[in-house]
Each structure stands twice: as structure tokens, then as C-alpha cells.
Amino acid sequence: MTSPRPSGIRALFWKGIPLKALTGSNYHRKLTHRAFLGLGSNIGDREKNLKTALSLLEGAELRIMKTSSLYHTEPVGELNQPWFMNAVVEVETTLSPEQLMHRCQQIEEKMGRNHLIPQGPRMIDLDILMYDQLTVETSSLTIPHPRMHCRRFVLIPLLEIAPDAIHSRLKKSIRELLQDIPDSSAVKRVKRKW
């Protein structure tokens, strides 16, 4: 008695057709997502803190694709604190939004982030600004970041690396959001390559 003929992908192997010929070399590669992360620090060696955070972010599930310049930025909210060093990075990742949030939180914790004063001084602050064109609203995560559209220290670095990226909730480009912003806090580019 002969076994039944296989169907689907198995049938292609049965006929001797290599899977790579049909799917290309990326068959086993996980689906990747494009996300933008905001980085900030205003304690200690701020540039070193941002570099450390980047090196901790990068791994098998996440690649840094683009990095904005470094910006020296005036505090927003809690004004009685040192100025920040801020940047935005574009990443390619196989992590889900929740997994990416947990990765960012683990790095903040590892680097000594103190959450006692929500808008106070911090060694490192990592925020998911956008993730593909998703709109996420859970008790622990909001994407796009709920205040990114009204913060110059986010939009100016983001404009540098993705001027035409679209805010999935407001349906406006980064360029358009920056034109509409009421925030007038100082944002000064200090270093292109870091």
C-alpha cells in the first residue's frame, strides 16, 4: 500500500523543488517591524548613558537602523532639573510592542532609572514613539506615544531621520506635527555622529 501524496509545501519537497527556490533565502526569518524609540538622559555622562542604552537594546531581535543627532534639550514639565540629552532611533525588530516595552524597561532598570519622580531627573529614559502603523491602547502601553506630538525634543530628532513618517492616530507626518506644535522649549543639536 502506498502512502497518500503530500499536499502544499510537503508536495514541493516530494517533487524535489527546494523551498528556497520558492520563498527566497528569508524563509526562516521572522517578520520584522519598524519602530522609533526616543532616548533621553539628564544625569551623569548623558552621551555615554545614551550609547550604553543603544548597546543594550541591540541584539538578535533588534537592529538599530538610523540614529538622529544628539540634542541638548530644555526640560519640559518639571523645570527645576538639568537639561537633557535626547535622540531618536529607528529600529527593526522581531519583538512585539509589549516585548519591546519590556526590553526598554529592563534597560532603564539595569541603568538605575528612578521612577519616584515621574518627570524628574533620570539616568535613562526609553520610550516607544511609533511601531509600524499600529495604534495600541492598553493599561500599560500607548502607541503612538501619547505626548510625542506636542514635544519638540521628540519631533525634531524624529524629523531628521523620518520626516514623512505618519502618526497613526493623528494621520499627520512628523513634518506636519512639528508645524502645529505649541511647545517652544529649546532644542539644540550638539553632535551629528555619536
**143, β-bridge pairs:** 136
Is residue 12 domain-resident? no
Number of folded domains that form the chain: 1
Q: Is the pTM of this model over 0.85?
A: no
Is residue 44 domain-resident? yes
pLDDT tens readout for residues 55-70: 999 999 999 999 999 9
CATH number reported for the structural domain that contains residue 99 in this entry: 3.30.70.560
Is residue 3 domain-resident? no
- Asked if 147 and 31 count as a contact pair (C-beta separation under 8 A), the reply is no
Is residue 122 domain-resident? yes
pLDDT tens readout for residues 123-141: 999 999 999 999 999 999 9
C-alpha 87: how far from its chain's center?
11
Q: How far apart are CA 37 and CA 13, in angstroms?
A: 42
- Asked if 111 and 104 count as a contact pair (C-beta separation under 8 A), the reply is no
Is residue 18 domain-resident? no
One-letter amino acid of 72: H
pLDDT tens readout for residues 130-183: 999 999 999 999 999 999 999 999 999 999 999 999 999 999 999 999 998 988
Is residue 109 domain-resident? yes
- Asked if 122 and 114 count as a contact pair (C-beta separation under 8 A), the reply is yes
User: Any idea which residues carry the catalytic annotation?
Assistant: 113, 122, 125, 127
Is residue 140 domain-resident? yes
C-alpha 164: how far from its chain's center?
16
Tell me: pLDDT of 78 over 90.
Answer: no
Is residue 9 domain-resident? no
Tell me: pLDDT of 24 over 80.
Answer: no
Question: In 3D, which of 175, 156, 139 has the Cα closest to residue 40?
Answer: 156
Write out the three cell numbers for 72. 541638548
Q: How far apart are CA 88 and CA 193, in angstroms?
A: 13
Tell me: pLDDT of 11 over 70.
Answer: no
Residue whose grid cell is 527546494: 18
Residues of the domain holding 85: 29-191
